[in-house]
A and B are shown apart, each in its own frame.
Chain A
C-alpha cells in the first residue's frame, strides 16, 4: 500500500511540475543560413540599373541597413539571345549595381540571366535567375480612365459612392499586373481620420504610417487577348487627401511568383512555408522584368 501511495505521489508531483511554467522558443543563429538577396528589374528600352544586391540577416539582430549591401559582389547579366555577358558595376551613390555601357539593350519578349557571386559571412555564395521581358503593347489608356480629382468618398446623384477608375491595354500574352498606389503628399495632417470605415488613432497612424501611404494590388489571370482591362481604385486604398501616383506594371513570371508569395509565408496556424522565388542557388528575392506606366489622381477634402 505504501509502495502504491509513493508512486501516486511521485506521479502527482511530476504532473504538477510539467503543467506549470512557460515554454519559450529561442530563435537565433541556429535557424539562420546566409543568402544573397537580389532586388532588381529590367524594363524594355531602359538602362540596366538599380539592381540591389544585399544579404539576409538573423532574427533578433539589429543591423544597419547600409551594412547589408554586398558592394563587392560580382554581378553579371547575360543576354540569352546571343549569350553575351555584361558585368554590372556598383554605384555607391545609388547603393546598387548598373551597366553604364550603351551596347546593352533590353527588349520586349527577350530573356536575360543575372548571375551573382558574393561572400557572406566568409562563405562563397552563388545565385542566378532568368527573366523574360513582357511583350510590347501595354499602356494605361489615360483618356478613358476616370482619374483627375474627386472628393473623398464622393457620391453621385443616385447616392452611390464614386470611384477612380483606371483602364489599360494589356501586354499580349501577359496575364499578371502589379499596381502601386502611393500617396505623394502623405502627412499626419493629411490623413483621412473621418473615414467611414474605421477609427484610426494618431499613435497607430504614426506607427503604421507607411502601411497607409503605400498600397499595392495585383491582378492575375487577366485575359491576354482583350483590348482593355478596367480596375476600380477602392477607397480603402486612399487614406490621405492630396495627390496620388498610380503605376501599373505588366510583370513577368518571376515578378508574379514573387509578389504573390514572398510576404505570404505564415499560415493561419502560425507555421511558415517557403515562398516561390525563381532564383537558383543561394539567392532569394526578385530578379524580374516589368513594363510600367504611370498616372496620377487627386483626393480632395
Chain B
C-alpha cells in the first residue's frame, strides 16, 4: 500500500511539471543529443554554448542537453568535447520555437591526416564551473594509460587521485576522504554493485574495455544520490557502435578479453565484453603451489532508438570467481575447499524527452551477489546471497536559463541471507529490507556569476526497526574572475548498510536493524578552481566530514556473539548481527590540490593531499580517539602520459603529426606518508590450557596502543610503454608495464615468530613488504 502511495506522489509531481511546461512563455528552446560521429555513442558532459548570449549547457548522462529561454535570432552554437573536433553551427530561432538539434562530433585524430590539436574551444574555466563540487571524470583512455599491477584496473587508478587512498598494494579497495570502502556507492549502468572485486580484492570487477565513462563524486554529491556516506563511483558502459562493427582483443599476463560492438540495423547497437583469467589452465597445471583459480566476467548492453524522443538500453553484467584449493595435490584426500563467488547485475533504462524541457530517465535494476564456500574436511560450509531490485526515476526539467529542477524517486528491495554450518553451531540470517527515497533539487542561476543548487533527499528504511531521514544538500558556485571559480558544498548523508570485511572470505553486508542504527555524515567542502593556462586546470578543495553511528568490524566478535536460538541438535543458532560491530563516530578533514591537463602530447595530473581522519569506537583503544589504518597525512600522485611522437611539437607549439605508428610513455608516481599501525609491544609466556607443559608455542604477543605508531612512508614509481601501429582500420598496441619500477620495499606489516629453545626465548621480527617490481606485457588489438 505504501508503495502505491509513493508512486502516486511521483506521478503527481510529473503532472504538475507538465502543466508548468504548458504555461511556458514565448522564448525559444534548443534541445537534443550529442553523439560520437564515429560510433554513435552518446557523449556525456559535452559543452553546448551560444556564443552571442553567453548561454550554455552540458549534456547529461544520456547525452541529452537543453538550452531554454533563448531570445529569437541568429546565433552561433558551439559544441565541444575533449578529444573531439569542436563543431560550430549557425542556428536561427523564431519566437516560441523549440528546435531539436542532435549533434555528431568527430574524434580529433583522423588517420593519415595532419590535424592541429585545437583543444577544447570552450574554456577550461567554463568546464570547471559546470562540474559538480568534488567530482572527477575519467575517460577509458585516461584510465587505460595509468600503469598498474599486471593490467589496468579502474579502482587502482582511482587510488592515484587526490583524496582517494588504498590501504595496501594487495587491495583495490578505495578509501575516499577518510571514509571506509563500504561508504562508497558503486553504480554500473545505474545498478548497485555490492562487492566490486575479483581475486580477494586484488582486482576490481569492472572490465576497462567495456567502460565508456567513470564519474567519481568524492563528497558533497547532490540529492540525486544517496545511501552511502562518502562517495559515488558511477560507471557507464559502452552502448555499442551504431555505425559499424568494431572489436577489441586484449591479452595480458593475467587475462584474455574481448569487446565487440555492432549496430542493430538502424534502430540501435549492441556491445559485449568477455574476460577470463587463465592461470588455472597454464601455471596451475605444472606448478603444484599455484591453486586452480580463475575469474570470468562479461558485459552485454543493447541500445535502442525507439524514436526521436525515446531511447531504451538493456545492460547485463555477470562475474564469477572460482577457487578450487587443494593443500597437497598429490594426496587423494588432501585438505581442500571450493569457493565460488560473483556478481550479476542487470538494468533496463528508458530515457525519454517527455516534453522539450522535461527529460526523464527510468530504471529497473537488479543486482545479485553470491558466494558459496565448501570445506567439508573441517565441517564448514557457507552460503551468502544479496539480492537488490530497484525501481528508479530521475527527471530534469529545464524551466529557464535561470532555473533547472531535478527530481526523482527510488524504491529499493534488498534481501540477503547468510548460512553457515560448522561443528559448534549454525548461522542462519535471512533479512528483507525496503528503502524508499524521494529527492528534489533546484538549480538556480541568478546571474552568470552565480549557480546555486539546493536539494532535499527523503528516505524511509523499512527494517526490523524503521528509520527515516530528510537530508538537505547545498552547492554554491561563484565566478571569482575570468579564470577562477569559488565553490561551496554541504549536505547530510545517510547510510543503512554496513559491510563486514573478513580474512580471505568476501565481505558480508548487513543493514540497520534493532541493534544497529543508521549511520550519517555531514560534508562541508570549499573549493577554488583556476585556469592556469589553456587546458591546464588547478583545483584546490578543503573539506570537513563528521560521521555518527559508524560501525567497524569487531575483531574480537567471538567473545561477543551469543546464540539467538538453538537447533534441534542443541547447537547454537545465530541469526542477528549482535556483537559483530563496534559503533562510534569520527571526523575527517583535509586539503587537496589537483593540477590537471587532459589535452595535448603531455597529459595527466599532479596532486597533493593533506588529510586527517580520527575515529572514536566503543571497545577500541578504551574509547579514546585514534587514527584508522587508512589515515594518510600526506599523499602525492604524479600521473603523466606522453605521446612521444608529438612532445617536441607541443613544446615548440608546432602542428601535431598524426602518424600511424605512435609511442606512448606513462609514469605513475605515488607517495604516501606512513599509515598508522599497532605494533607488537611485548611478549609474555603463557599456556593456552591449564594442563599444558611450557612448550614452543607458550609465547603470546601483547600489542601497543591502537595505531599508536606509523609505518615508514610508502612510495612507488610505475612505468608503461606502448607502441601503436595502425593499418587499414586496424590497430595493434603491444605494451610493457612495470609496477614498482625501482623495486622499493614498502612495509605492509610486522610478522613475528618465536620459540623457546633450551629455556631461552628466541624471537624473529620480520617486516613483511608489499609488491616488489612487477613487470608485465600485453597487447591490445582493435579492428
Binding site for B on A (CB under 8 A): 11, 15-16, 18-25, 27, 31-35, 37, 39, 41, 50, 54-66, 68, 178, 180, 182, 196-199, 208-211, 213-214, 216, 219-223, 226, 229, 232, 234, 236, 245, 247, 249, 256-257, 259-276, 284-286, 290, 292
Contact = CB atoms under 8 A, between A and B. Distances in A.
B735 interface: no
Interface centre among A11, A22, A209, A211 (most CB of B within 10 A): A22
Contacts of A266: 701, 752
Interface string B677-689: 1111111111111
Contacts of B142: none
A263 B500 CA distance: 21
A50 B695 CA distance: 17
Contact of B742 (A20, A180, A234, A245): A20
Nearest to B715: A18
B626 to A, nearest CB: 11
Interface of B: 167-168, 327-328, 330-335, 377-379, 423-425, 501-504, 555-556, 558-559, 561-563, 566, 570, 572, 620-621, 629, 638, 669, 671, 677-692, 694-697, 700-704, 706-709, 711-717, 740-752, 756, 759-763, 765, 767-769
B357 to A, nearest CB: 49
A234 B378 contact: yes
Contacts of A66: 759
A15 B561 contact: no
A15 B680 contact: no
Contacts of B759: 64-66
B59 to A, nearest CB: 36
A270 to B, nearest CB: 2
Nearest to A261: B556
Nearest to A267: B555
Contacts of B690: 41, 50, 180, 249, 290, 292
B581 to A, nearest CB: 14
Contacts of A22: 744-745, 769
Given A15-B717, A197-B333, A31 B559 contact: no
A20 B762 CA distance: 32
B756 A65 contact: yes
14 contacts: A20-B742, A21-B744, A22-B744, A56-B682, A180-B690, A196-B331, A197-B334, A213-B695, A214-B695, A222-B570, A245-B691, A257-B559, A260-B556, A270-B677
Interface centre among A15, A62, A180 (most CB of B within 10 A): A15
Contacts of B566: 223
A272 B746 contact: no
Given A19-B716, A261-B558, A247 B689 contact: yes
A276 B704 CA distance: 14
Contacts of B691: 180, 182, 245, 247, 292
B682 A269 contact: no
Nearest to B333: A196
A56 B684 contact: yes
Contacts of B743: 20
B572 A263 contact: no
**Which 9 pairs from chain A and chain B are nearest by CB?**
A270-B749, A268-B503, A23-B712, A221-B572, A196-B333, A272-B703, A19-B717, A20-B742, A210-B695
A59 B683 contact: yes
A23 B713 contact: yes
Contacts of B621: 274
Given A20-B743, A274-B706, A35 B682 contact: yes
A273 B558 CA distance: 14
Given A65-B756, A271-B629, 9 more contacts: A16-B742, A18-B715, A19-B715, A19-B742, A37-B686, A180-B692, A199-B330, A223-B570, A271-B749
A2 B767 CA distance: 43
A259 B548 CA distance: 33
B761 A63 contact: yes
B697 A214 contact: yes
A168 to B, nearest CB: 13
A53 B17 CA distance: 79
Contact of A214 (B423, B692, B706): B692
Contacts of A63: 760-761
Contacts of A37: 684-686
A213 B698 CA distance: 13
Contacts of B767: 23-25
Interface centre among B328, B691, B696 (most CB of A within 10 A): B691
Given A60-B765, A64-B759, A275 B692 contact: no
B330 A62 contact: no
A16 to B, nearest CB: 7
A20 B738 CA distance: 14
B689 A273 contact: no
Nearest to B425: A221
B328 A198 contact: yes
B763 A259 contact: no
Contacts of B555: 264, 267, 273
A135 to B, nearest CB: 18
A56 B700 CA distance: 10
A63 to B, nearest CB: 6
Contacts of A16: 717, 742
B620 A273 contact: yes
A11 B745 CA distance: 21
A92 B760 CA distance: 19
Interface centre among B327, B694, B716, B742 (most CB of A within 10 A): B742
Nearest to B768: A270
B685 A59 contact: no
B334 A196 contact: yes
A32 B709 CA distance: 12
A198 B327 CA distance: 7
Nearest to A230: B569
Nearest to A259: B688
Interface centre among A18, A232, A275 (most CB of B within 10 A): A18
B570 A229 contact: yes
A54 B679 contact: no
A63 B683 CA distance: 11
A197 B695 contact: no
Contacts of A208: 696
A266 to B, nearest CB: 8
